[in-house]
Amino acid sequence: MKKLVKSKEFGVLMVLVALIIFFGIASPQFMKAQNFFNISKQIATVGICSVGFCFVLITGGIDLSVGYQISLDIVVTAVMMNTLGLNWAVACLIGMLLGTGIGLVNGLIIVETHVAPLIVTLSMMTILKGISYLITNGLAIFKFPDAFVKLGQGTIAGIVPISLLFLVAIIIIGIFILNKTVYGRYFYAIGNNVDAAKLSGVNVKKIQLMAYGLCGFFTSIGAILMLARLNSAQSSTGDGYEFNCLTACVVGGVSSNGGKGTVLGAIIGCLIVGVLENGLAIMNINEYIQEVIKGLVLLVAVIYDTMSLLKNEKVKKIKAINVEN
């Protein structure tokens, strides 16, 4: 219990619990198991993309091209299945390769040219948007094989959404990479102090490249799940998702300056946003009031999290002084 209270995610977890309790009291429909599965379906793509986004943020970077990576991944996978008639599994594989490739290109440009990640990925976002619209001419591509659509819409035993399983698997992989591998430690090291990491013998370029590559890879998985859920591909799909991911990560305690944050935190951030949107919709709250409430809750979540972190650090400092004395 003490470990949980002291954990970095405790603050945002409490915000999430408070929201769930509030909506549970306000609407009896909210607390039903089916609704939690709905929320999991609704946040699956953002959740998966946020894991990759979290890696990039921890290394001190940012990837603003995530939204249109989703768009292009979706469109290309859809074209492979519908226009070219490829098997859906092969099409998905190509989509994932494309996503990873885009991530690696982002990383390569950043590490080789030293241009700020914000600028590089912003430019990439525009390029990807253009390519996506060139492919579709703005029109929709739809109706995919049933087996594929089940990835996004199907359930196991009629209850558990398949997309939830993907989300859980990606979270576990993300946590494993960040906490149990040397690369995870390198991500934090680079994000905390890139020069110190370099002097310590960390291959900074390789690790940064890996972070962007992983971000692209996870984004492509999220995109494919979204395509299966919508059963339709449009170039406008994914627009603005980079900010959804950024919001989820920052609310979940991932520092936008790098070096701090966890995958679990990012997912809790995602859940806060998802629960908020779902709960307000179930309560049938007016659209504009929803925006105000969402903004306020996110602000409170960030303030509460930051203050509890500061408090923990203060306690640590006092303890350290006591030990010295």
Partner 1 sequence: MKKRVLAVLMSVAMTAALLAGCGTTATSETAATDTETKAKEKTEAAKEETTDTAAASDTYKVGMTFNLGNLTWAELTEEAKTYGASKGMEITVQNSNDDATTQVSQIENFIQSGMNAIIVAAVESNAVEDVCKKAQDAGIKVIAYTQVIENSDASYLVDAYNTGYACGERAAKWINENYPDQEIEWALEDLPKYPEIIDRANGIKEAIEKLAPKAKLVATQPAEVMADGQANAENFMQSNPDIKVICSIGSGGGAGANEGIKSYLTEDQYDSFGIFGIDATEQEILNIINGDPQKSSVSLGGGAVHGDCLIDMAYNFWQKIDQEAEQYMPITVIDSSNAQEYYDEHFAK
Give contact residues for partner 1 (rule: CB under 8 A). Answer: 27, 29-30, 32, 34-35, 38, 41-42, 112-113, 133, 136-140, 142-143, 153, 155, 226, 229-232, 234-237, 239, 277-278, 281-284, 287-288
Instruction: From 14, 6, 46, 25, select the one nearest 283 (Cα to Cα).
Output: 25
Q: How far is the CB of 314 from partner 1 (least distance, A)?
A: 41
Measured CA to CA, the distance from residue 48 to residue 17 in angstroms comes to 21
Q: How far is the CB of 16 from partner 1 (least distance, A)?
A: 19
Query: 109: which 2 tokens?
Result: 């440009």
- C-alpha gyration radius of the chain: 20
Q: How far is the CB of 57 from partner 1 (least distance, A)?
A: 24
Q: How buried is residue 138: exposed, middle or buried, by Cβ count under 10 Å (0-12/13-18/19+)? A: exposed
Q: Helix, strand, or coil here: 222?
A: helix
Q: How far is the CB of 176 from partner 1 (least distance, A)?
A: 30
Question: Looking at beta carbons only, is 191 or 279 nearer to partner 1?
Answer: 279
Q: How far is the CB of 218 from partner 1 (least distance, A)?
A: 19
Question: Looking at beta carbons only, is 135 or 189 nearer to partner 1?
Answer: 135
Measured CA to CA, the distance from residue 81 to residue 84 in angstroms comes to 6
CB 219 within 8 A of CB 121: no
Question: Which residues does residue 132 pair with via DSSP β-bridges, in sequence order?
Answer: none
Using the 8-state DSSP alphabet, how is residue 239 labeled? T
Question: Looking at beta carbons only, is 244 or 262 nearer to partner 1?
Answer: 244
**DSSP annotation string for 266-309:** HHHHHHHHHHHHHHHHHTT--HHHHHHHHHHHHHHHHHHHHHHH
Question: Looking at beta carbons only, is 188 or 239 nearer to partner 1?
Answer: 239
Residue 9, amino acid: E
Question: Looking at beta carbons only, is 133 or 217 nearer to partner 1?
Answer: 133
Q: How far is the CB of 18 from partner 1 (least distance, A)?
A: 21
Q: Which residue has the tokens 């939690």?
A: 36
CB 19 within 8 A of CB 207: no
Q: How far is the CB of 68 from partner 1 (least distance, A)?
A: 12
Question: Looking at beta carbons only, is 197 or 271 nearer to partner 1?
Answer: 271
Question: Looking at beta carbons only, is 35 or 262 nearer to partner 1?
Answer: 35
